[in-house]
Amino acid sequence: FQFFICHHKAGAGNFTRLLKMILQSNSGVVRKVFLDSDDLRDLGTLFGTVSSDLETLVVLLSKEILLRPWCMGEVSTAYANKIQVVTVLFPGFEYPEDSFLERYEEHVPDANMLSGHGISLDLLKTALRWLQSRTTIALPHDMSNSLMKELADTLVKTQRSKKIDGQHLALGQDAAMALTTERHAGSKFSNYILANTANWESQCTALVLQRLLAPLMSSEPQEIPQVFKDSSDDLAPSCKQLCLICDTAIFRSPLAVNILLQAAKQDIAVLPVVSEATFRFPTPQYLTEIAATAEEFLKQAEAEYTGAQFARVVNRIFKEIAVELNPQDAELALKMRSQAIHNRLKGSLRKLGIDLDSTDSAWLKDAVDRGSDELHWDVSDLESYLTLSPPSNTVCSTGPRMGPARA
């Protein structure tokens, strides 16, 4: 393997999938990129892969990475076997005080199980101190395709030049220019992807979906979905369909509130794509919460619409059957899911068909009070639609994420 991406799934699992995809498209990457959900079949072989079948270990420094025993076992193995290590510094990450390392086994009791793999606590602590002296690539706060391509280019350069060893490199110096260029490039497209831009994992899901759909739509480039980047974006007049990446905070995003209201005004179709297992399908109570939160954003923005009107848009969106997409699934499952999304976009998605001007602020309260059918559905039925029927020999995202239990 040319690269092995060491990561904490909860903090950077979707980012890791996107990074692998972009590395694989880089001309400087001529061998495989290890990602556990794709390449790990037996947990017992994990450290052997690092020690004897790897050129560079890339450690993604998200907030809880140092608390993950398997990840720290990978770092320790790389240190013991003189494998090149490059760290990628996430915003908000800080190395702990030395006292934390001295008492590491108290903070991370599961670290003791690494002794069964030949990794002592002394070795682990030494490796963690050594990790801080490795080449570090610092990420900015803004996520974009251009940033990820810059990261991939930089990782390739660190392999080729020993002069970079131990340096601290900052990416995204031209982030504003890159975002502006990407945003203007999407003005003629008919499909868009909307995610919670405050959540990197959701934004990475959107970028992964874009890359998965691109080859399926290569014969009609104007249909390749474009991803919204920041709160200043508006819905292009050319937009006909929107994929909504649903995480637990999507309806608290000012960008989502703004774009979804524009979607209703332009009467386009919206396909909900669920990216988190903890996502709550809108119930009457939840719609009331959504309306209250959106009301605050809309008042601050002096918008013409109310929270109740936004809640009605959300309610209508989930009359469409949702599709699940988890970038942490294996490649085969992702291809199957993206094909299903492509089929929906090419099929018969219904326009929202909402007259916002006829929706007054009393709609939501009245509907809840009288138990309106418009607000009630069998959530279990909706959730059952998330599972697309794969071939019997296919592992999809509704089954185990991967065989071995590595977090």
- Least confident span in 129-143, 264-278, 298-312, 357-371: 357-371
Place of tokens 């909860």: 10
- Chain CA centroid to CA 12, Å: 8
Q: To the nearest 10°, report the CA torsion of 225, 226, 229, 231.
A: -90
Place of tokens 């524009």: 262
Edge-first strand order for the sheet with 135-138 is: 33-34, 3-6, 56-61, 84-89, 135-138, 168-170
pLDDT digits (tens, 9 = 90+) for 240-265: 999 999 999 999 998 999 999 999 99
**How much is the pLDDT for 300?**
81
Q: What single-letter amino acid sits at 63?
A: K
Q: Are 77 and 107 in contact (CB under 8 A)?
A: no
pLDDT higher than threshold 80 for residue 278:
yes
- Chain CA centroid to CA 179, Å: 18
pLDDT digits (tens, 9 = 90+) for 316-346: 999 999 999 999 999 999 999 999 999 999 9
This prediction's pTM: 0.86
**How much is the pLDDT for 6?**
97
Q: Are 184 and 226 in contact (CB under 8 A)?
A: no
The Cα-based distances of 258 to 184, 204, 235, 320 in angstroms read 18, 21, 9, 20
For 267-296, what is the mean pLDDT? Answer: 90
**How much is the pLDDT for 361?**
56
pLDDT digits (tens, 9 = 90+) for 17-47: 999 999 999 999 999 999 999 998 888 889 9
pLDDT digits (tens, 9 = 90+) for 107-131: 999 999 999 999 999 999 999 999 9
Buried b (16+ CB within 10 A) or exposed e, 132-154: eebbbbbbeebbbbbbbebbbbb
Per-residue 3-state assignment (H helix, E strand, C coil) for the chain: CCEEEECCHHHHHHHHHHHHHHHHCCCCCCCCEECHHHHCCCHHHHHHHHHHCCCEEEEEECCCHHHCHHHHHHHHHHHHCCCEEEEEECCCCCCCCHHHHHCHHHHCHHHHHHHHHCCCHHHHHHHHHHHCCCEEEECCCCCCHHHHHHHHHHHHHHHHCHHHCCCEEECCCCHHHHHHHHHHHCCCCCEEEECCCCCHHHHHHHHHHHHHHHHHHCCCHHHCCEECCCCCCCCCCCCCEEEEEECCCHHHCHHHHHHHHHHHHHCCEEEEEECCCCCCCCCHHHHHHHHHHHHHHHHHCCCCCCHHHHHHHHHHHCCCCCEECCCCCCHHHHHHHHHHHHHHHHCCCCECCCCHHHCCCCHHHHHHHCCCHHHCCCHHHHHHCCCCCCCCCCCCCCCCCCCCCCC
pLDDT higher than threshold 60 for residue 181:
no
**How much is the pLDDT for 154?**
94
Q: What single-letter amino acid sits at 254?
A: P
The Cα-based distances of 366 to 141, 285, 352, 361, 370 in angstroms read 42, 13, 21, 10, 6
Report the mean per-residue pLDDT for the chain.
85
* Percentage of the residues of the chain whose pLDDT score is greater than 70: 83
The Cα-based distances of 22 to 26, 145, 151, 155, 320 in angstroms read 6, 9, 9, 11, 31
For 152-163, what is the mean pLDDT? Answer: 87
Q: Are 179 and 231 in contact (CB under 8 A)?
A: no
The Cα-based distances of 62 to 93, 95, 160, 199, 322 in angstroms read 6, 11, 25, 13, 30
pLDDT-derived band of residue 281, with 50, 70 and 90 as boundaries? confident
Closest CA to 179 of 229, 235, 239: 229
pLDDT-derived band of residue 165, with 50, 70 and 90 as boundaries? confident
Residues recorded for the chain: 407
Could you give the CA distance from residue 388 to residue 373 in angstroms, rounded to a whole number? 27
Could you give the CA distance from residue 113 to residue 257 in angstroms, rounded to a whole number? 47
pLDDT digits (tens, 9 = 90+) for 192-222: 999 999 999 999 999 999 999 999 999 999 9
**How much is the pLDDT for 141?**
87
